[in-house]
Amino acid sequence: MNNTALRQPELWRPLVSALRGGAPAGTREIEFRGTVHPGSYGGSVFDDGESRHGGGSVLDALKPPAALVEGPGVAVRALVTAAGAAEVDIVAGAPQVSFGMGSTILETVLLVDGADPEPYRRVPVHHDGVTTSPNADPEVVRALVRRILPGAQAASPAALAAAESSLGAALPADVRALYLSAGAGDLVLPADPELFYGMSIVALDDAAAREYLEPRSRYGSWTDGAIEVVAPDPAERVQPLAASPAWFAVGDDFGGNLLVVDLEPGPRGHVGQVLYVDHEFPAGARWLAPSLTELLTGRPSEPAEPGPEGGLVVRIGPRGRTVADVLPDTEVVVVSAAPEPTDLSGLAGNKTVRTLVVSHSATVTNLDVVTTLPGLEYLELGTANWQQLLRADRVPPTLQAAGMQGRADWGTTVEVVDALLARWDRPRIDVTRIRLSRG
């Protein structure tokens, strides 16, 4: 934390007062856990361990700190007792930890600096013999754009060359024709149920659209990205990638979804095929048309649905799925609370499981099987299970990130986070404790 003003006790006294004032009579202990970022803040309040809505006074008390916070923000934990003691812990934002809005706050421990979840590290495979669609026609695109946007300013050849240089590949001829006819603008086609409705052309220098296709813009938090899977395209036109450096945005659909041309398709696709990147889906893209020409001159079907997840994700719990349902190609296993403990020994040696999430309310046996999973990179547990692995020296060395489950004791959570960071020789989290007397 660079801002020394955040360390001043008087800044947090309104929060402590709001917690005391909102507690029911007879409450012994009130706890707040939340986050404060520049311009945003929130969290949860617990009276003797029971959750309640924070209320306007608590949120109002966070406004002054929010005006002072810079950069990645801070996590805040405040504890107030009926006896009058009060303390506020402030955790500085840092690359080695990410905050969540739930009661855990310290949501993810980033053990390998700069790493992305596996689906976002995948790179496209080049398939020899895959060509552009025979119906891709730059003259058709050029004539259509000039007819609908007669006054549009074309992108310069230099700007187009710079975009291709950054991409590391030449764009298809019909895409080049689009930009050399109109560098931007709303390409709205005449209303015709047999034709595509149109798109807003993404300018070559539209940094926001290009950045949106970057892995970290899509998955948000490591926790979210780790449980994503990309189902194979049954038609083998699109490679199973969460994101791809071979996708180039050419338009948006006026609803926040991008239309991209794919320069590295699957074995049965076409170079320059158009894919749909849905802003509501954090991974993958869906096939639309064999080429930009065919998108603009035809009526594409709805974005092709991805194949079923099948056994890529197995959710074990009271609805009947068990460890026996984990397949040789399963990537993500999620264990929920069940009437009987879940024996994890059936996972032993599985080479494809990369993510294992065990709910803090689930009881499991043979947890140390995690050290036999060579591809395990994300493990999410309650603090008691983390303590078990740490004591036995059974934390998998393959992990790239670790997740925290449940609202465990605050001190224990901090100890577990620091112990994990120490194993990867990463800096401990920066916790500042402020004690406030009643008054």
What are the boundaries of each domain within the chain? 4-97+431-436, 119-297, 309-399
By percentage, how much of the chain surpasses pLDDT 90?
A: 65
Strands 106-110 and 97-99: antiparallel
- Residue 205 neighbours by CB distance under 10 Å: 13
Per-residue model confidence (pLDDT) at position 72: 84
Per-residue model confidence (pLDDT) at position 290: 96
Q: What dotted CATH number matches 119-297?
A: 3.40.1580.10
Per-residue model confidence (pLDDT) at position 135: 96
Closest to 346 in 3D by CA, of 330, 360, 329, 325: 325
User: Is the model's pLDDT at 20 over the cut of 70?
Assistant: yes
User: Is the model's pLDDT at 267 over the cut of 70?
Assistant: yes
Q: What is the pLDDT of residues 109-166, one digit of tens each?
A: 999 999 999 999 999 999 999 999 999 999 999 999 999 999 899 999 999 999 999 9
pTM (two decimals) = 0.90
The pair of structure tokens assigned to 32 is 């707040």
- Enumerate the H helices of 127-263 as residue ranges: 138-148, 157-167, 173-179, 207-212, 215-219, 222-226
Q: Quick check: helix, strand or coil at residue 306?
A: coil
Residues with Cβ < 8 Å from 22, sequence gap 6 or more? 30, 45, 52, 54, 55, 57, 58
Q: What is the mean pLDDT of residues 55-78?
A: 87
Q: What is the DSSP letter of 132?
A: B
Per-residue model confidence (pLDDT) at position 194: 74
Range of weakest confidence among 15-19, 201-205, 300-304, 367-371: 300-304
Q: What is the pLDDT of residues 287-340, one digit of tens each?
A: 999 999 999 998 766 676 666 677 899 999 887 789 999 999 999 999 999 888
Per-residue model confidence (pLDDT) at position 230: 93
Distance of alpha carbon 119 from alpha carbon 98, whole angstroms: 19
Range of weakest confidence among 153-162, 189-198, 229-238, 298-307: 298-307
The larger pLDDT score, comparing residue 307 to residue 175, is at 175
The larger pLDDT score, comparing residue 207 to residue 270, is at 270
Per-residue model confidence (pLDDT) at position 242: 95
With contact defined as beta carbons under 8 Å apart, do 136 and 172 qualify?
yes
Half-sphere exposure at residue 76, Cβ-oriented, CA atoms within 13 angstroms: 28
User: Is the model's pLDDT at 82 over the cut of 60?
Assistant: yes
Strands 378-382 and 355-358: parallel
Chain centre distance of CA 255: 20
Confidence of residue 3 (pLDDT cuts 50, 70, 90): low
Half-sphere exposure at residue 154, Cβ-oriented, CA atoms within 13 angstroms: 15
User: Is the model's pLDDT at 54 over the cut of 70?
Assistant: no
Residues with Cβ < 8 Å from 331, sequence gap 6 or more? 118, 229, 312, 313, 352, 353, 354, 355
Residue type for 194, please? E
Q: Based on the number of CB atoms within 10 Å of its own CB, is 135 exposed (0-12), middle (13-18) or buried (19 or more)?
A: middle
Confidence of residue 40 (pLDDT cuts 50, 70, 90): confident
- Residue 51 neighbours by CB distance under 10 Å: 12
Q: What is the mean pLDDT of residues 13-27?
A: 87
Per-residue model confidence (pLDDT) at position 71: 81
Per-residue model confidence (pLDDT) at position 21: 83
The pair of structure tokens assigned to 55 is 């209320």
